[in-house]
């Protein structure tokens, strides 16, 4: 992938690596790429600072239900692997629909929670814990952009899939209207948490390379409280000062209002090529 360094783009924090932009498809990737160990420490720090609080969890759960509504697999009752399952809320929901839910989650506390919810096993990684079952469905909601090596993961997935396996992904799109409008201030430019941010074209090229064919692409809107959005803008993107000021002066009643927001994400349904 040819590209150019984007040293003025990204979530500004000390020692966070800048993004590298592919000149062909406009996909962004961190350069240098953080190690899995560095990301684990980063997530641990986020957890200690309250980034996974109950209030934020409620908003995440709303988003998961919206994601699940878009997933319409043609594999009823089969095994479902949720990669990046966090605390297992999606696994719990798909179990209610008759699937056996398996998960992969690198964060220890979240993985323990997911293990208690899932009828199937929850693993730290596919590399270290081989799943013995074929998957009818694989979901990756807000997770592919966190991978340090997406190619290696999709190679590992080959042993778990067949020609009927379906893939559902939700991820930021570097060519979305939100990304183009906000530019360097786009909240999804979150280094080092977002390691690879695909464009629609880039994701199509990537999935095709690994034997997947995209069937559906949809823009994503999320039902979020105004307070949650302000909190996210305080922590991510280029509007931190403005968001911090608005958060201080906005009454709680206003913060509790739910509105549909579009942050530049896409939902993709792909299937294995015959």
Domain count, the chain: 1
| Residue 14 located in a structural domain | no
166 within domain boundaries = yes
Return the pLDDT at 12.
43
Least confident among 17-26, 122-131, 142-151, 247-256: 122-131
Is the model's pLDDT at 217 over the cut of 90? yes
Query: Residue 164's domain spans which residues?
Result: 36-221+264-272
Q: Considering the entire predicted model, what is its pTM?
A: 0.88
The pLDDT score that the predictor gives to residue 193 is 87
| 98-115 per-position pLDDT tens digit | 999 999 998 888 899 999
Rounded Cα–Cα distance for residues 178 and 237 (Å): 12
According to the model, what pLDDT value does residue 52 have? 54
pLDDT for res 50: 59
Q: How many whole angstroms separate alpha carbon 185 and alpha carbon 257?
A: 24
Domain assignment present for residue 141? The answer is: yes
CATH assignment of the domain containing 141? 3.40.50.150
pLDDT of 36 reads 79
The answer to whether residues 239 and 247 touch, using CB atoms and an 8 Å cutoff, is: no
- CA-derived radius of gyration, the chain: 18
Specify the DSSP class assigned to residue 16: P
pLDDT in tens, 153-187: 999 999 898 888 999 999 999 999 999 999 989 98
């Amino acid at each position: 992938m040819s590209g150019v360094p984007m040293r003025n783009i990204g979530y500004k924090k000390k020692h966070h690596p800048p993004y590298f932009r592919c000149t062909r498809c406009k996909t962004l990737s961190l350069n240098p790429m953080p190690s899995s160990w560095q990301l684990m420490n980063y997530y641990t720090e986020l957890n200690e600072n309250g980034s996974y609080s109950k209030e934020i969890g409620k908003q995440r759960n709303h988003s998961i239900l919206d994601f699940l509504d878009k997933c319409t697999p043609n594999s009823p009752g089969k095994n479902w692997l949720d990669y990046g399952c966090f605390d297992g809320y999606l696994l719990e929901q798909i179990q209610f629909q008759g699937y056996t839910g398996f998960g992969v989650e690198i964060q220890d506390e979240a993985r323990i929670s997911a293990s208690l919810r899932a009828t199937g096993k929850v693993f730290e990684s596919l590399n270290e814990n081989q799943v013995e079952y074929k998957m009818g469905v694989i979901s990756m909601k807000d997770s592919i952009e966190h991978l340090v090596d997406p190619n290696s993961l999709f190679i590992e997935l080959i042993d778990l899939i067949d020609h009927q396996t379906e893939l559902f992904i939700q991820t930021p799109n570097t060519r979305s209207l939100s990304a183009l409008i906000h530019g360097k201030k786009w909240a999804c430019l979150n280094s080092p948490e977002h390691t690879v941010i695909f464009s629609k074209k880039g994701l199509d090229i990537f999935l095709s390379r690994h034997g997947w064919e995209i069937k559906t692409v949809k823009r994503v809107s999320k039902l979020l409280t105004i307070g949650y959005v302000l909190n996210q803008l305080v922590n991510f993107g280029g509007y931190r000062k403005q968001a911090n000021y608005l958060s201080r002066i906005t009454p709680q009643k206003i913060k509790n209002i739910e509105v549909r927001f579009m942050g530049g994400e896409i939902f993709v349904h792909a299937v294995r090529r015959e």
